[in-house]
Structures are given as C-alpha cells and as structure tokens.
Structure 1
C-alpha cells in the first residue's frame, strides 16, 4: 500500500455509527487516515470529525444513494485512490425460520449481501487505483447452523463465498480481500424482536431457548469492539493476503469444530448449548410423534 509520507491513506467504513465500524473509523483516523464513516445516523459519528472522520449519511441499500456517494468520492479522492473499503454494516435476524416474513428476509439480504456487493462494484476504480483492500464483516453464523438464525446464517454464508471468490478474482489487480469471520463482539446488533404470537415456537421452553440465543454474544465474554478493531487494523496494515481471518470470542475454536467435525456432532453441541432437547420432545408429542429423544 502507498506510503503515508507521500499520500494520506483513505478508507470508507460502513456501519460507522457504533460498535465495530465506529472503532475502526476512530482508530484509522488516529493513525492519520482520512475516513469516510458511513451510516444512516451520522449524528453518532460527528464526535470523530476532529480526528479526521467525514460523516456520510448513507443508506447502503439504496443504489441511488450509493451512486451519489461515488460521485462525492470522485470529486474528493486524491488521485482517485481508495485504500480500504470496509463493508461492515450488518442487519440481524433472529427468528424461527417459519416466522420470518418476506420483508424481513429481503431487508436482511439487502443489508448483509446486496449492499456490500453493490459498494464493491461501484467503488472498484478507486480500489484498483490504490491497489487497496476490501474487507467484509463475516460471522460464525456463516459457518455454524445457529438455531433461530436461518436467514442471518444464510446471509453471512453468502457474503463469505462472495468474499472468497472475490479474493481470487482480484489478484490480478493487486487488491486484497479479507473476510473477517467474527465471533463474540460487544456490539448492539442483537435482535430484540420477540417470537410472534401463534408461532410454533410460542411455548415456554422454546421461548427460553430463543431468549438465550438472542443473548448468546453477551453471555460468552465478547471481545470489546475497541480490541476487535485493533486486531482488524493490524490485518489491514499487514502485508499478508489471507482469505479468512478469525476475530472475536470463540471465532477460531468454533470455526475449527464446524469445519473439521461431522455435522451430527455440531448439531449435538448446539442442541446442548441452546437446550433444544425439550423443544424437540414437546414438538414431537404435539405433532403426533411419540418418540422421546431424551436430549435434556
């Protein structure tokens, strides 16, 4: 990457109003970078302006707004160079698969999949000019079949594969692509929606398991967003060209379990972790199957 002594480095960070995006924007700015911090709520980014962060109100799901942002960059980027595009913004979706509406599915995919693909495509020339780095905030949910997260897991699996294919495609341009597979991090992304009334999971033991799933990150000693950002910035500044990096609580160990152990074992671990056995027993009895799995 170009030397800071000759040109100020530039980054675009989405989801910059809180959590990971806020900390990455802050820490890059402290290193002397010019950072375009993008979010819908720019008032939360304004405290970082004195460090060199430019707050950009941007709905990443809007093609029109992304194109206008591209025009802004064309007028402001030195030599048309963008050193880092950090596709960090994310949308949670923690609901039983039977209860997710079309609108909720579309919103989750719009933020987690379509928007990063769109931004990567629209800002390609700036990244080529700088031989820059593109990052994606992936998730363990893209590897592990977490219960009550089928849609979110699907979006993260999709963006993982997009990032990996992109890593291969862009080698000839000198662009690095880093897929940050993220474990527990102390952010406010957790879904707060309840199980809908009338759901086939609307009974006591299922509701308890559902609440435990929503609080999974906060109950498992999550890494602070500040420490997470520091590690990822180390990845940005490194000359290494990894495909995947693992950051956040349990990111390495759980990824290893999912990748190297058989599916039945992964399901067993998740069944015990989220106390799904009583749910299965209740549903089997209610829906006509008298088999008792004894998975307490």
Structure 2
C-alpha cells in the first residue's frame, strides 16, 4: 500500500449487520470507505463517519460497473480492500425451493462476488490489496433446510481458496472469513410454501428452531466481529499462508462436529432441530401413501 495516498475500501452489503459495522471499523482506521448496498437510505448514518454510501447491486453488472468507474475515478485507480459481504439467506427444504429463490441466492452469494472481483481486479492489483469474503459455517455442516445457502457458501470457500493461489503473483491476499453466529438480521423467516411435502405435525416448530439457530446460540456482536475481520485484512507475515479464518460464535464447536462420523452427525442435527418426530411422521405417511 502506498504511503502517499489514503487507503481505500469497498464493503458490499453495508446497509446493516456485518457490512455496516465493518465499514465503520475501516473508517476508524483511516480508510476512505465506500459502503455499497441496493438501498441508500439505511446507510445515511454512515456519512457521519466520513463513509460514502453508493448504490450497488452485486447481482447487476450495470450497477457493478458504475460503482467500479466511480471508485476508479475518485481513487486514481486504487482499492486496498474489497470486502464481498453482501449475502442472501435461503432456508427452504431442497424439494420446495423455487427457481426464482435459488437463482437469486446464487446471484448474490456466488456470482456477485465473482463479478466484483473481475471488475475491480485492476484497482486491487494496483494497490496490492486484500480481497475478503464472508463465508459461513453452513458450508461445513449439512444443516437441514439449508442446502441452497450452504452450497453457495461452499462454492465461495473453494472460489476464494483458488483465487488466493491465482492472486499470489500480483501481491494480492485473499481472506475468506468462515463465519459463525453474528448478531445480524439476515435470518430467513419465510414459512414453508403451501402444499410442501414436509407439511406435517411438528414441522412448524422445527422450521422456527432452524430459522432462529444463530439467535439462540449467543451470536457475536457485529462490532466485535468487524474489529477481528479488519485485523485479518491488515495482518501480514505467517497469516499470509492461510486463506481461511474463523470468526463469530460456535466456530470451534462446529469445526469439531464437522469431523464426526456422518451417521452420528446426522443424528445430532435431527435431534437439535426437533426433527425426530417430524421425520418419523413423514416416513409413516409416505410408506402408505403415493405422492401425487
């Protein structure tokens, strides 16, 4: 990073939660911060920290290019931190999720970050900067009714890992933050669709337990999380050997649980999310009834 210019950062999904808190933390450390989100209104208060809110929809190439051109012109072609944080939740049974829902989830969680990296590559390389991603513990465990969301995060984990290798000759670091519980409002509260094959007694309670998983497991405060993440972006030395870091609550527990035998792991998840009776009811129902 050049000492003759102010450091710059772009945070996507900055209208609330992790993105909002990280934009503030970067600003406090002297960065000129661009806070991107689809809606500008929730980011108005960021201006008091000297942060510049910009309209940015990572699922739109037109929006991404407009943001890139603006930042390129105003920074002289440098971006020290690109934090791909924008995310779309999706808590649905695999058998119920619609094309519209899973396409949107992939657009925001996977294709959006890929699009951002490609379009901002020159600015990041010029700065020999850092590219960050908000990964998830959901990529490590088969949390029920999270197949779409978990698969997007697994895709980003592997994308970030390979990108880290490819960016080495340019002097650019890649940091994937495998995120546990953080106090945000990302939880998906949509009910099961009408006519779901899972609509049996007890399923409503099981879905509620799954949707409130993060809230009920002592999530880390977003401000504390943001401080750790910015530390990760600024750390040098031995840290550059690794592209994955683990932040948020329950990360140690989940990493341990993820290596358990599959049968034991599934048994534990079924019990935790109140699915024992639900699954038994479904087995009994469809062992006697043809699905029409």
Is 1:104 the counterpart of 2:104? The answer is: no
Gapped runs of 5+ residues in structure 2?
A: none
Q: Which runs of 4+ in 1 moved over 6 A?
A: none
Per-residue deviation, residues 267-296 of structure 1 (Å, max 9, x unmatched): 12211211221112101100117xxxxxxx
Matches within 5 A, 1:95-134: 95-134=92-131
Aligned residues: 286
Could you say which residue in structure 2 is the equivalent of 1:20? 18
Could you say which residue in structure 2 is the equivalent of 1:257? 257
Is 1:139 the counterpart of 2:146? The answer is: no
Give RMSD over aligned pairs. 1.4
Could you say which residue in structure 2 is the equivalent of 1:190? 187
Structure 2 length as normaliser, TM-score?
0.95
Are the counterparts in 2 of residues 10 and 35 from structure 1 also a CA contact under 8 Å? yes
Are the counterparts in 1 of residues 209 and 274 from structure 2 also a CA contact under 8 Å? no
Could you say which residue in structure 1 is the equivalent of 2:90? 93
- Distance in 1 between the 2:52 and 2:114 partners? 23
- Distance in 2 between the 1:265 and 1:82 partners? 46
Are the counterparts in 1 of residues 140 and 154 from structure 2 also a CA contact under 8 Å? yes
Could you say which residue in structure 1 is the equivalent of 2:212? 215
Matches within 5 A, 1:242-253: 242-253=242-253
Per-residue deviation, residues 137-187 of structure 1 (Å, max 9, x unmatched): 000111111101111011111111100110111111111001100001110
Could you say which residue in structure 2 is the equivalent of 1:282? 281
TM-superposed deviation, 1:190:
0.4
Could you say which residue in structure 2 is the equivalent of 1:66? 64
Are the counterparts in 2 of residues 140 and 183 from structure 1 also a CA contact under 8 Å? yes
Are the counterparts in 1 of residues 34 and 52 from structure 2 also a CA contact under 8 Å? yes
Matches within 5 A, 1:228-243: 228-239=225-236, 240-241=239-240, 242-243=242-243
Could you say which residue in structure 1 is the equivalent of 2:223? 226
Secondary structure at the aligned position of 1:97 is classed as coil
Could you say which residue in structure 2 is the equivalent of 1:174? 171
Structure 1 length as normaliser, TM-score?
0.94
Secondary structure at the aligned position of 2:91 is classed as coil
TM-superposed deviation, 1:68:
1.3
- Distance in 1 between the 2:122 and 2:261 partners? 43
- Distance in 1 between the 2:7 and 2:130 partners? 12
TM-superposed deviation, 1:52:
1.8
